[in-house]
Chain A
Amino acid sequence: MAWASPRTVVWPGLFVLTWLLATFGRGWLEAAGLGWAMQYPDAWVIPLKDSISAAMKWLVEEASFGLFTFTEFTRGISWLIEQPYNLARALLAEGFVQGHGRRAVQIVPPVSWIAVTAGVVALGHYARDWLLATIVGAAFLYLAVFGQWESAMVTLASVLIAVPIGVAGGLLLGITAYRHRSFERLLKPVLDLMQTIPIFAYLVPILFMFGFGPVSALVATVIYAMPPMVRITTMALHAVDPEIRDFGVMSGCTRRQMTWRVLVPSARASLMVGVNQVIMLSLNMVIIASMIGAGGLGFDVLSALRRLNIGGGFEAGIAIVILAVAIDRLSQAFAARATTFTPPPKGDTWIKRHPRSVIVLAILLASYAVGLFLPAVQTYPDTATLTTGRFWDNGVKYLNINFYDQFEAVKLFFLQGFLLPVKRFFLGIPWPWAIAMVTAIGWTFGGWKLALMNLLMAGFIAATGMWEKAMITVYLCGTSVVIASIIGIPLGILAAVNERAGRIIGVLIDTLQTLPSFVYLIPVVMLFRIGDFTAMLAIVLYALVPAVRYAAHGVRSVSPELIEAGVISGCTRRQLLTRIRLPLALPEILLGLNQTIMLALSMLVITALVGTRDLGQEVYIALTKADTGRGLVAGFAIAFIAIIADRVITASARSARIRYGLESANG
């Protein structure tokens, strides 16, 4: 922050003052009779959570639109979503059955594993080539061979429903936000809330509204997975080359044509990043969704780990990753195919024009017929499945027995050298001072509006009695985000400049993002015990992904002409990176930092499962007590921390860009 001369004096001065207060403040304040400044007095807490619980009760039990009640309305939506979902689930996993429970009789079996695999192979070939067909075919074969087939199909069915809803909703909201500035301004905080309020916080109200079962899980998944799509849509549309837009105007496009024929197709590459995020985040939700009735692979992970069957949990987790990779690659290929010209199929009959559909249909019917006599064709036989479970169990055991002391040493080093001092610092700051500082930071970077917003949000956290938990949250997330950025941004840059490294890193971050954190949380507990370090490791692993992804995307999307111009004017490789690529990728990298913070905060509720004492734990406790108000208040506190961080980063990035002349002050 060395770009303004008064700041170079004021901010370090304030920081030293804050540090002094954090270290010695307690003694001074207590001596001066101002002990209330250290610990927010209980008597001042506003009982907001009780009001929220009461409002929720009213909404579910009494609210009415006249013709029908609120609950009937939400149950109607629930019914609408349930129909396609039940169809997908019956087709892929359970077959069409008659009756209930163990008396159920299967009338039509689900589509056989052979037919599904043939179907995705055909899709892969249709979308791109034989290579893709082989990859997705192998992925589905893996699911069958490793005994994950049925659960994987249940998960696939819910993804097939959740992703289109998330993508379509996100696209429409994003386009509306692009067209209307005021809507964008209104939408932004809502998106932040959707992404940062932990899903556990609104799980209870969703269950009240949408009933028990898979639909609630789907609704929760969509709420969680949609925001990146909206953000990326708006950003991508803004980033469309003005010349393309002018061209559209010149050729007389209507508004609708402009959107769907010009802007959306031009932004397709960036939009696909959004689709990718929706898929990945949906699959990320499968564990939490399985807690409220989605079943599938998420449930397998959960129940395996409750039995400490690490291998079983890992296999189901890897199956989620494989499924994610297969769906993602297919969707990417479809998008790429749509932007290039493909000659229409030749042939005079439908059969000749659609050879793949015919083959798949033939396999479907044949496998059904043969399956009646030979069950192995219908359902992959249990006896032919493989398992690597033992390997993972023994691997963790080996590490635990032989390297525990080394792990312990690393952990103590981090705890004492980094985590504990930061924790003491944040917990030591008197809350009125901290609110003043947050407000001052807002004032400096964003003027009175940001200052006011920061004041209100930080004030809300104190006034609802969440201050201490919020500070633990800030400390835990702050340290994790710092570490995730230190590791993630260089990895992203490496991935962008070196293609081979990029491919390996791509696989790594796809795995990290879709592998349910619960899978590695339990082995990490075994190696590092319960505590802040374990929580931090889990948060870093999860929050690393956007840091890498956005840095790579930013560096990659620097226009080749600019690079060429650099090469011509004699830049070295290093200069190309530091003078051209990085500065131009800065907005993307900052967006990545933003997302890193968001994901770190959304991970809190998972780390609550290993016993942290922060807002995430508060939300988790509220869930286990089915206390709507308590969960939402803690959820809002988390969201406000995220929003403050986001706005300050955005504003500071903007003032930096203005200083570097990349943006005009009134733009």
Chain B
Amino acid sequence: MRHILKGALTGVVMSAFASTVSFAEVESQDPIKITLHDWSGQLINAHIMGAVLEEAGYNVDYVQADYIAQFAGLKTGDLDLAVEIWATTGQEALNEAVATGKVENLGESGMQAIEEWWYPLYMKERCPGLPNWEALKSDECAAAFSTPETAPKGRYVSGPVTWGGFDEERVEALELPFEVVHAGTDAALFAELESAYQRKAPIMLWIYTPHWAPAKYEGEFVEFPAYTPECYSDPAWGVNPDKAYDCGKPRGPIWKAGWAGIKDKWPGAYKIIKAYTLNNDEMSAMVGDVDLQGKSVDDVVNAWMDANESRWQGWIAQ
């Protein structure tokens, strides 16, 4: 009991102290709630964003939330800011939320998502024509990528059904002798890769970046005909005159998104968030530091803040 009483007393003293040490004047002392997901890149990104906002004098809270389920919170203002909505996986949910008028798309984060068919380098010996996609059309290559369930066809592990990606259509349009198998989560996807890589077994799968996998495993993306919007919409476009989807996957930005009320409640923070950008290379390096070197997210974030002071000062000063 004495313990708690003492705590309460200290609390009063501390809060009095805190209010005298004022930080830069900001519109509201309410914390801006930034969502955290379960991959390192996002954690780093969210904490850098948080650190910059704190430098500007705002209060920040971090809230654990599911990537898609978070939109429910962003609409009501239970949550304020999501720093990574990938055009490749979250576009539909983002569009739906923005359409309600309660969520705002706060612009590109500066990072570009790349996702495509990917294979480990040792597969190049077994299918020499790679990375050109036309090599995959030969029976030898298909056999090299096959498993007992799919032989004589090759096996391609696609992402969760919800990622879309039109791989069935792509296989058909490009006449690839491959069977498409869907992983349910990216954890299952990378478990397949790790398993195959340990055994130097054949594998062809959907990989995306910025991510730690391309840094940990040696391999390459297959080079398909480059994506254009016409390729998906117009059957006449591309190598197959009768079918759409005869090209690679689109590459898209990673968006920042937030509760539509940010603009009015924290106008200064709103400007900072809009200006905030990172790029693929620095993000990949930081993700590697955390996931492969075992550094803590906090250390990596602090190192970035020290190295890029002029950049974030610029965002705050505008």
Contact surface of A with B, Cβ cutoff 8 Å? 96, 98-103, 105, 107-108, 203-204, 207-208, 211-213, 290-295, 299, 302-303, 305-308, 364-365, 368, 397, 400-401, 404, 408, 412, 415, 518, 521-523, 525-527, 529-531, 607-612, 617, 620-621, 623-626
Which residue from chain B places its CB closest to the CB of A368 in the assembled complex?
B3
Interface residues of B in 1-32 (CB under 8 A from A): 2-4, 6-7, 10-11, 14-15, 18, 31
Contact flag A364-B185 (CB < 8 Å), given A408-B148, A626-B69: no
B99 beta carbon closer than 8 Å to chain A = no
Asked if residues A609 and B188 are in contact (CB atoms below 8 Å), the reply is yes
Contact flag A212-B192 (CB < 8 Å), given A98-B15, A100-B31, A292-B66: no
Asked if residues B192 and A108 are in contact (CB atoms below 8 Å), the reply is no
B40 beta carbon closer than 8 Å to chain A = yes
CA distance A530 to B155 in the complex (A): 11
Asked if residues B198 and A364 are in contact (CB atoms below 8 Å), the reply is no
Asked if residues A306 and B69 are in contact (CB atoms below 8 Å), the reply is no
Asked if residues A306 and B38 are in contact (CB atoms below 8 Å), the reply is yes
Contact flag A617-B161 (CB < 8 Å), given A368-B3, A626-B93: yes
Asked if residues B291 and A307 are in contact (CB atoms below 8 Å), the reply is yes
CA distance A365 to B1 in the complex (A): 10
Q: Contacting A307 at CB < 8 Å: which of B40, B66, B188?
A: B40
Asked if residues A400 and B198 are in contact (CB atoms below 8 Å), the reply is yes
B61 beta carbon closer than 8 Å to chain A = yes
Chain A residues with CB under 8 Å of B195's CB are: 400, 525-527, 529
Contact flag A108-B10 (CB < 8 Å), given A401-B198, A624-B162: yes
CA distance A204 to B68 in the complex (A): 10
Asked if residues A400 and B76 are in contact (CB atoms below 8 Å), the reply is no
Asked if residues B198 and A397 are in contact (CB atoms below 8 Å), the reply is yes
Contact flag A625-B54 (CB < 8 Å), given A100-B31, A525-B188, A610-B183: no
Interface residues of B in 71-104 (CB under 8 A from A): 71-73, 76, 78-79, 92-93, 96
B32-66 CB mask vs A (1 if < 8 Å, else 0) is 00000011100000000011001000011111111
Chain B residues with CB under 8 Å of A294's CB are: 64
For the A-B complex with A208-B72, A625-B92 known, give 15 more contacts whose Cβ atoms are closer than 8 Å. A204-B72, A211-B76, A212-B65, A212-B72, A213-B78, A295-B64, A401-B199, A404-B199, A404-B201, A522-B187, A527-B195, A607-B184, A609-B187, A610-B184, A624-B68
Q: Size band of the B side of the interface?
A: 35 or more
CA distance A305 to B161 in the complex (A): 20
Chain A residues with CB under 8 Å of B15's CB are: 98
CA distance A212 to B62 in the complex (A): 12
Chain B residues with CB under 8 Å of A620's CB are: 162, 184
Chain B residues with CB under 8 Å of A99's CB are: 18, 59
Q: Contacting A293 at CB < 8 Å: which of B65, B184, B201, B291?
A: B65
Which residue from chain B places its CB closest to the CB of A296 in the assembled complex?
B64
Asked if residues A526 and B93 are in contact (CB atoms below 8 Å), the reply is no
Asked if residues A292 and B11 are in contact (CB atoms below 8 Å), the reply is no
Chain B residues with CB under 8 Å of A415's CB are: 149
Instruction: State the 7 A-B residue pairs at the shortest beta-carbon distance, nearest first.
Output: A212-B73, A108-B7, A526-B195, A101-B60, A212-B78, A611-B184, A100-B59
Give the most central of A305, A608, A611, A620: most B CB within 10 Å.
A611
Contact flag A626-B71 (CB < 8 Å), given A101-B50, A294-B64, A617-B161: yes
CA distance A526 to B189 in the complex (A): 10
B70 beta carbon closer than 8 Å to chain A = yes
Chain B residues with CB under 8 Å of A364's CB are: 3
CA distance A526 to B303 in the complex (A): 35
Which residue from chain B places its CB closest to the CB of A211 in the assembled complex?
B78
Chain B residues with CB under 8 Å of A305's CB are: 187
A125 to chain B, nearest CB (A): 23
Between-chain CB contacts (< 8 Å), 18 pairs = A107-B10, A204-B69, A204-B72, A207-B69, A208-B76, A212-B63, A397-B198, A400-B195, A412-B148, A415-B149, A526-B194, A527-B195, A617-B161, A620-B184, A623-B69, A624-B68, A625-B68, A626-B71
Asked if residues B72 and A303 are in contact (CB atoms below 8 Å), the reply is no
CA distance A213 to B10 in the complex (A): 28
Chain B residues with CB under 8 Å of A306's CB are: 38-39, 186-187, 190
B181 beta carbon closer than 8 Å to chain A = yes
B148-191 CB mask vs A (1 if < 8 Å, else 0) is 11000000010011100000000000000000011111111011
CA distance A365 to B5 in the complex (A): 13
Chain B residues with CB under 8 Å of A525's CB are: 188, 191-192, 195
CA distance A659 to B194 in the complex (A): 56
Chain B residues with CB under 8 Å of A521's CB are: 188
Asked if residues A522 and B69 are in contact (CB atoms below 8 Å), the reply is no
Give the most central of A96, A291, A404, A624: most B CB within 10 Å.
A624
B147 beta carbon closer than 8 Å to chain A = yes
CA distance A231 to B87 in the complex (A): 47
Asked if residues B92 and A207 are in contact (CB atoms below 8 Å), the reply is no
Which residue from chain B places its CB closest to the CB of A616 in the assembled complex?
B184
Chain A residues with CB under 8 Å of B39's CB are: 303, 306
Asked if residues B188 and A100 are in contact (CB atoms below 8 Å), the reply is no
B212 beta carbon closer than 8 Å to chain A = yes
Chain A residues with CB under 8 Å of B2's CB are: 365
Which residue from chain A places its CB closest to the CB of B74 in the assembled complex?
A212
CA distance A400 to B185 in the complex (A): 21
Which residue from chain B places its CB closest to the CB of A288 in the assembled complex?
B66
Chain A residues with CB under 8 Å of B38's CB are: 291, 299, 302-303, 306
Which residue from chain B places its CB closest to the CB of A365 in the assembled complex?
B3
A446 to chain B, nearest CB (A): 37
B304 to chain A, nearest CB (A): 14
A399 to chain B, nearest CB (A): 10
Contact flag A291-B7 (CB < 8 Å), given A617-B184, A625-B93: no
Contact flag A530-B11 (CB < 8 Å), given A98-B18, A303-B38, A626-B72: no
Chain A residues with CB under 8 Å of B147's CB are: 529
CA distance A509 to B121 in the complex (A): 43
CA distance A51 to B187 in the complex (A): 34
CA distance A529 to B190 in the complex (A): 11
B261 to chain A, nearest CB (A): 15
